[in-house]
């Protein structure tokens, strides 16, 4: 007997399937990321019309069969369509980056509230963010997203020998070692960032207030791109390129 599951979830990605259906990746509050088949979703009079838009928050009901990887969606109601974000192409782009990150980095059905909660918090903050702060906000949440994937860079002291990092003009972050390194532990994957950028990353990690600076966030972006590429199977976030 299939089990009937009711939960809320964000639409991460949709792929057309057969003539009129969709396969949809949903980040749910109860079951983590799941895949559902939405039969007839692309028909004009489908009851699913408007519910499968990217980053919609929906309440969904699906039939879960243990033997299947893709479940069948039975019903969906939009809880939040984020209209106020959709009128701003930059904000749509920003939301796409986080959706793409979770779509590509989360394994299926790893229950846990954290990715869902993080994406929800991000979208709520994105609503109120001014144009020039969209990209920094995206980078801050991507950085926090790494924590959920268990890949947060280590920043406290040298990740290799645990020596304290002395204040200097620049700090070396090793992509392969997964954190900050002292001069004795430099390797050929180190990315150099300014002391201010390093301090900003520490503040983001500790959830402290930060000052926006274009230069700092350019360095954070460079580091994050290299870090995500290395640790998440050569992952390149296409949506981040357009932000």
Q: Taking the complex as a whole, how short is the minimal distance between the CB of residue 160 and Zn ion, in angstroms?
A: 4
Q: Taking the complex as a whole, how short is the minimal distance between the CB of residue 161 and Zn ion, in angstroms?
A: 3
Strand 32-38 relative to strand 70-80, pairing: parallel
**Cβ distance to Zn ion smaller for residue 186 or 229:** 186
**Cβ distance to Zn ion smaller for residue 90 or 185:** 185
Task: Report residue 171 CA to chain centroid gap.
Answer: 26
Q: Taking the complex as a whole, how short is the minimal distance between the CB of residue 107 and Zn ion, in angstroms?
A: 32
Angle 89-105/114-128 helices, nearest 10 degrees?
Answer: 170
**Cβ distance to Zn ion smaller for residue 69 or 166:** 166
| Residue at token pair 């994937």 | 149
**Cβ distance to Zn ion smaller for residue 17 or 154:** 154
Residue 205 backbone class (left: φ over 0; alpha: ψ -120 to 50; beta: rest): alpha
- Give the Cα separation of 98 and 10 in Å (integer): 11
8-45: b (≥16 Cβ within 10 Å) or e? bbbbbbbeebeeebbbbbbbbbebbbbbbbbbebbeee
- Give the Cα separation of 208 and 188 in Å (integer): 31
Q: Taking the complex as a whole, how short is the minimal distance between the CB of residue 153 and Zn ion, in angstroms?
A: 15
**Cβ distance to Zn ion smaller for residue 31 or 159:** 159
Q: Taking the complex as a whole, how short is the minimal distance between the CB of residue 159 and Zn ion, in angstroms?
A: 8
What does the binding site for Zn ion look like in residue numbers (CB under 5 A)? 158, 160-161, 163, 182, 185
**Cβ distance to Zn ion smaller for residue 103 or 185:** 185
């Amino acid at each position: 007997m299939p089990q009937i599951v009711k939960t809320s979830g964000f639409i991460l990605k949709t792929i057309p399937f057969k003539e009129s259906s969709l396969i949809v990746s949903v980040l749910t509050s109860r079951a983590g990321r799941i895949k559902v088949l939405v039969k007839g979703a692309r028909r004009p009079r489908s009851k699913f019309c408007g519910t499968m838009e990217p980053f919609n928050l929906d309440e969904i009901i699906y039939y879960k069969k243990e033997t299947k990887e893709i479940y069948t969606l039975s019903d969906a109601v939009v809880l939040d369509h984020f209209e106020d974000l959709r009128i701003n192409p930059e904000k749509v782009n920003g939301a796409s980056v986080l959706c793409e990150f979770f779509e590509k980095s989360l394994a299926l059905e790893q229950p846990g509230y954290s990715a869902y909660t993080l994406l929800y918090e991000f979208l709520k903050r994105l609503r109120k963010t001014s144009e020039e702060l969209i990209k920094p906000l995206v980078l801050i949440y991507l950085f926090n997203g790494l924590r959920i994937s268990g890949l947060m860079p280590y920043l406290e002291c040298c990740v290799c020998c645990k020596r304290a990092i002395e204040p200097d003009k620049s700090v070396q972050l090793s992509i392969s070692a997964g954190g900050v390194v002292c001069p004795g532990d430099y390797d050929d994957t180190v990315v150099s960032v300014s002391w201010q950028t390093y301090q900003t990353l520490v503040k983001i990690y500790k959830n402290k207030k930060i000052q926006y600076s274009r230069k700092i966030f350019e360095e954070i972006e460079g580091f994050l791109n290299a870090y995500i590429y290395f640790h998440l199977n050569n992952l390149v976030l296409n949506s981040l390129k357009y932000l």
